[in-house]
């Protein structure tokens, strides 16, 4: 399996109210995932923003439910090294990991992603979400989603996966079109070349 020098955790900057603010992307553990189930939908007058916040909470709850399933059958990983060991023991096993973005200036996580390594050695992105206060723009933070996507590609690159894929919603499809720079309908695929490009993009903004 090829190794990529930008292994997690990685620190980088997002835009917080228009100013760079440091965050950290890393693997999540059971406690981190459980904390996302405590997110609440803020009271908002704008129905569009309230819907986005509700979607964020729903995705976090679904991701936590899926995580618990894999945890209970001992198929969750908390590092790239752990994933590599699990794959070495069972080349066609299906394993789950969860990524998080955290910051000293924000309570809990800013967002997360639940990902599966499939039996065919691809990565399937089941859920990618940001905190309801961010998705509803109550807190002005930008680029968390794309950095999570880049982090998934770091893992894919390190494992030697040739594809990252997932389903989209009507709201999320424009996000993937923008950052993958290709047509996207109700699903997307990230090729080996795009995995390398997105991995390098995260390395380019690494702090320290």
CB 145 within 8 A of CB 55: no
> Does residue 2 fall inside a structural domain?
no
Q: What is the pLDDT of residue 105?
A: 96
76 Cβ partners below 8 Å, 6+ apart?
67, 70, 95, 96, 97, 98
Number of domains, the chain: 1
Q: What is the pLDDT of residue 4?
A: 41
> Does residue 51 fall inside a structural domain?
yes
Q: What is the pLDDT of residue 7?
A: 81
> Does residue 120 fall inside a structural domain?
yes
> Does residue 101 fall inside a structural domain?
yes
> Does residue 47 fall inside a structural domain?
yes
Instruction: Give tens-digit pLDDT for 101-111.
Output: 999 999 999 99
Indicate which CATH number applies to the domain containing 118: 3.40.630.30
Q: What is the pTM of this model?
A: 0.94
User: What is the domain extent for residue 65?
Assistant: 10-204
- CA gap 79, 16 in Å, rounded: 28
> Does residue 3 fall inside a structural domain?
no
Q: What is the pLDDT of residue 6?
A: 46
Backbone φ and ψ of 170, nearest 5°: -60, -35
Q: What is the pLDDT of residue 61?
A: 97
> Does residue 188 fall inside a structural domain?
yes
Q: For the chain, what percentages of helix, strand and coil (3-state, to nearest 5) are there?
A: 40, 25, 30
| Weakly modelled stretches of the chain, pLDDT under 70 | 1-6
For residue 101, is the peptide bond before it cis, meaning its omega torsion is within 30 degrees of 0? no
Instruction: Give tens-digit pLDDT for 48-71.
Output: 999 999 999 999 999 999 999 999
Q: What is the pLDDT of residue 208?
A: 74
Q: DSSP alpha helices (H): ranges in 73-191?
A: 80-89, 132-135, 144-159, 173-180
């Amino acid at each position: 399996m090829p190794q990529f020098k930008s292994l997690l955790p990685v620190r980088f900057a997002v835009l917080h109210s228009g100013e760079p603010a440091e965050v950290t992307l890393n693997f999540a553990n059971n406690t981190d995932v459980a904390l996302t189930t405590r997110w609440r939908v803020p009271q908002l007058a704008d129905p569009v923003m309230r819907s986005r916040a509700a979607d964020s909470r729903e995705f976090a709850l679904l991701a936590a439910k899926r995580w618990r399933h894999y945890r209970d059958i001992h198929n969750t990983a908390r590092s790239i090294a752990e994933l590599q060991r699990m794959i070495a023991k069972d080349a066609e096993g299906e394993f789950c990991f969860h990524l998080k973005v955290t910051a000293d200036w924000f309570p809990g996580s800013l967002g997360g992603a639940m990902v599966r390594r499939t039996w065919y050695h691809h990565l399937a992105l089941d859920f990618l979400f940001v905190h309801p206060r961010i998705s509803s723009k109550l807190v002005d933070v930008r680029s968390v989603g794309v950095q999570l996507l880049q982090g998934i590609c770091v893992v894919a690159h390190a494992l030697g996966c040739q594809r990252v894929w997932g389903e989209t919603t009507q709201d999320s499809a424009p996000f993937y079109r923008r950052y993958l720079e290709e047509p996207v309908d109700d699903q997307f695929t990230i090729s080996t070349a795009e995995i390398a490009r997105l991995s390098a993009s995260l390395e380019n903004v690494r702090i320290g």
